[in-house]
């Protein structure tokens, strides 16, 4: 019996598999398609997902394989009328090293995650379609289309908006399909356009958008309002229909599409599951929620679902936490999905209004909210304040980064480097925390790494004050960081008991 079976090998499933595998959890991941898709689909990770990918050890490859956000050139009547950079003037800060998302085709991101997973000795099992599942007291039995059975202690459905797992569980997927909001999209090949620009033609009778796909010589993401026949019905997308749309709006003689693949008709769906857990089975990513593409939060919400669930499953299956810890997954992530549906619906309306005006375009979706750096879990049962002070970071908030130095060697380091990996992190600001750090390591050193900050020859030096500034602390105090890099607990310097009670009581 494997510990966790993951159904679906997109970014959500692969993120979860990597996180579990690096924690030593026996994991299998199955995918019904016979070969890995070459779809570009999602345009890339946002700043919070880049932080997740850094923790998983793959962000350097992602950054090298992608590009930063591009200048958006807007046209009217075939003529360029405005260039806009949605992130102009922004930059990384000591507490947030990624201020912009990264453009990278989904297939390349999946390749990077699969390579990392292979390094842990786990491979995606292709051509393996789930057709039935049953639950027992000690696990789940998954039946495959060819009759094989896979037994697992837990199963996670990361199998997309048409999730077989969700359907087999009978979980409702309530919401709406906006039939009036239709788009055709695909990957196309063409030469003759500046590849440093995201070209956007908006006219009264429709729109075409072309964004260059990083890592390709002539590949582009194609999105457009659909062509319709004489009776108003949407024309099935094809290279020819894409060419007609391009000719109508771009009006550039000789600009020809040499290929078009992965074409589809997209209607805005806004739906979410009312439960993320049924017994030993969980839903994550598009299997649990779908929404407008405005804001680029689909893949990112799935990656962040997986990062929330991974450490909890690992602690439970290794016996370091009680099974009740798994209830916090739905408690924390379902409200985030509801927020995501709201914000993407709002951004979709903003785009539809903006493109009616000359110079308006997709840049209206680039708001601070869509970085998801501000999302947290203050409402969670895992967020506990024992040292609430005005101006300081709260339990449930994202744990910020900060540049520091190793107190013993003087070498530069960052809090994110300290946090990275399958463990809790206890920061002790000031010498008054020494006893609490020591007691915590003595009892929970297998799951916690403890670091003093500005407290002597070992630990970390906050010589520029960035860490204290980010965490809002001027007095000696303790901050316990969860494995998914959110603040779990704040406590006074002598709060060892609060830290031990938190760790002892996980899921119990």
What is residue 183's predicted lDDT score, i.e. its pLDDT?
Answer: 87
Q: How much of the chain exceeds pLDDT 90, in percent? A: 76
Over residues 249-287, the pLDDT tens digits come to 999 999 999 999 989 888 888 899 999 999 999 999 999
Q: Using CA of residue 364, residue 273, residue 29, residue 34, what is the dihedral sign?
A: negative
Q: Rounded to an integer, what is the distance from CA 273 to the centroid of its chain?
A: 18
Domain end (from 371, 393, 426) = 371
In degrees rounded to 5, what are phi and psi of residue 407? -65, -30
* Tokens (6 digits) for 419: 């946090």
Whether 128 and 158 map to the same domain: the answer is yes
In degrees rounded to 5, what are phi and psi of residue 83? -115, 130
- Inside any domain, residue 295: yes
Domain end (from 371, 405, 429) = 371
Whether 275 and 359 map to the same domain: the answer is yes
Whether 398 and 355 map to the same domain: the answer is no
Rounded-to-integer distance, Cα 102 and Cα 98, Å: 9
In this predicted structure, the answer to whether residue 159 has a pLDDT above a threshold of 90 is yes
Domain end (from 240, 267, 294) = 267
Rounded-to-integer distance, Cα 217 and Cα 85, Å: 23
- Inside any domain, residue 89: no
Whether 200 and 305 map to the same domain: the answer is no
- Inside any domain, residue 97: no
- Inside any domain, residue 259: yes
93 touches 47 (CB < 8 A):
no
Rounded-to-integer distance, Cα 344 and Cα 292, Å: 6
Whether 443 and 408 map to the same domain: the answer is yes
- Inside any domain, residue 93: no
Quick one: average pLDDT of 298-323? 96
Our CA angle for 423, 427, 433, nearest 5°, is 130
For residue 10, give the CATH number of its domain: 3.50.50.60
- Inside any domain, residue 226: yes
Whether 43 and 16 map to the same domain: the answer is yes
Quick one: average pLDDT of 377-402? 91
- CA neighbor of 119 nearest in space, from 22, 201, 7, 186: 22
Whether 114 and 157 map to the same domain: the answer is yes
Whether 414 and 432 map to the same domain: the answer is yes
Q: What is the pTM of this model?
A: 0.95
Total residue length of the chain: 508
Rounded-to-integer distance, Cα 431 and Cα 450, Å: 13
Residues 6+ apart with CB under 8 A from 343: 295, 297, 369, 370
Alpha helices, DSSP H, located in 192-297: 239-250
Whether 171 and 181 map to the same domain: the answer is no
* Tokens (6 digits) for 386: 């024992």
Whether 39 and 113 map to the same domain: the answer is yes
Whether 324 and 409 map to the same domain: the answer is no
Over residues 404-460, the pLDDT tens digits come to 999 999 999 999 999 999 999 999 999 999 999 999 999 999 999 999 999 877 899
For residue 218, give the CATH number of its domain: 3.30.70.2450
Whether 455 and 469 map to the same domain: the answer is yes
State the chain's mean pLDDT as an integer.
Answer: 92
In this predicted structure, the answer to whether residue 383 has a pLDDT above a threshold of 90 is yes
Q: What's the total number of domains in the chain?
A: 3
- Inside any domain, residue 91: no
For residue 393, give the CATH number of its domain: 3.40.30.10
* Tokens (6 digits) for 276: 């993320």
- Inside any domain, residue 254: yes
In degrees rounded to 5, what are phi and psi of residue 413? -150, 180
**DSSP count for the chain of H helices, then E strands:** 12, 24
- The parent domain of residue 239 ranges over 177-267
E-assigned strand segments in 71-172: 71-76, 79-84, 124-125, 130-135, 140-144, 149-157
């Amino acid at each position: 019996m494997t510990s966790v079976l993951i159904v679906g090998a997109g970014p959500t499933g692969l993120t979860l598999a990597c996180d579990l595998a690096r924690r030593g959890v026996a994991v299998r991941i199955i995918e019904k398609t016979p070969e890995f898709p070459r779809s570009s689909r999602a345009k890339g990770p946002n700043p919070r997902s880049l932080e997740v990918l850094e923790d998983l050890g793959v962000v350097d490859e992602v950054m090298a394989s992608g590009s930063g956000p591009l200048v958006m050139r807007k046209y009217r009547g075939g003529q360029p009328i405005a260039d806009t950079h949605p992130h102009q003037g922004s930059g990384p800060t000591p507490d947030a090293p990624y201020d912009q998302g990264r453009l990278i085709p989904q297939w390349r991101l999946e390749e990077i995650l699969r390579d990392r997973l292979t390094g842990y000795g786990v491979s995606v099992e292709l051509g393996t379609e789930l057709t039935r599942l049953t639950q027992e007291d000690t696990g789940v039995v998954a039946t495959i289309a060819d009759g094989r059975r896979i037994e697992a202690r837990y199963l996670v459905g990361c199998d997309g908006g048409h999730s077989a797992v969700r359907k087999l569980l009978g979980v409702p997927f309530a919401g709406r399909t906006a039939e009036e909001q239709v788009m055709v999209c695909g990957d196309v090949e063409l030469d003759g356009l500046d590849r440093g620009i995201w070209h956007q033609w908006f006219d009264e009778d429709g729109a075409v958008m072309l964004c260059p796909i990083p890592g390709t010589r002539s590949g582009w993401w194609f999105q457009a309002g659909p062509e319709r026949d004489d009776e108003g019905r949407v024309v099935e997308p094809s290279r020819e229909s894409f060419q007609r749309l391009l000719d109508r709006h771009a009006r550039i003689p000789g600009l020809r599409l040499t290929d078009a693949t992965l074409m589809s008709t997209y209607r805005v769906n806004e739906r979410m599951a009312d439960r993320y857990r049924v017994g030993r089975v969980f839903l994550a990513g598009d299997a649990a929620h779908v929404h407008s593409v405005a804001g680029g939060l689909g893949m990112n919400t799935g990656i962040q679902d997986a990062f929330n669930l991974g450490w909890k499953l690992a602690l439970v299956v290794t016996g370091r936490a009680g099974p009740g810890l798994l209830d916090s997954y739905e408690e924390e992530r379902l409200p985030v999905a509801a927020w995501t549906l709201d914000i993407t619906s709002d951004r979709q309306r903003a785009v539809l209004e903006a493109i009616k005006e000359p110079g308006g375009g997709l840049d209206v979706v680039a708001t601070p909210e869509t970085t998801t750096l501000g999302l947290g879990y203050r409402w969670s049962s895992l967020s506990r304040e024992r040292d609430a002070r005005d101006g300081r970071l709260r339990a449930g908030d994202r744990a910020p980064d900060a540049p520091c130095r190793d107190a013993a060697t003087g070498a530069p380091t960052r809090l994110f480097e300290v946090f990275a990996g399958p463990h809790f992190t206890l920061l002790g600001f000031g010498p008054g925390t020494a006893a609490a750090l020591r007691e915590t390591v003595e009892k929970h050193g297998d799951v916690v790494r403890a670091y003093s900050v500005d407290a002597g020859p070992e630990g970390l030096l906050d010589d520029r004050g960035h860490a204290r500034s980010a965490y809002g602390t001027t007095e000696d105090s303790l901050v316990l960081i969860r494995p998914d890099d959110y603040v779990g607990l704040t406590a006074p310097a002598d709060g060892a008991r609060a830290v031990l009670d938190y760790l002892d009581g996980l899921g119990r």
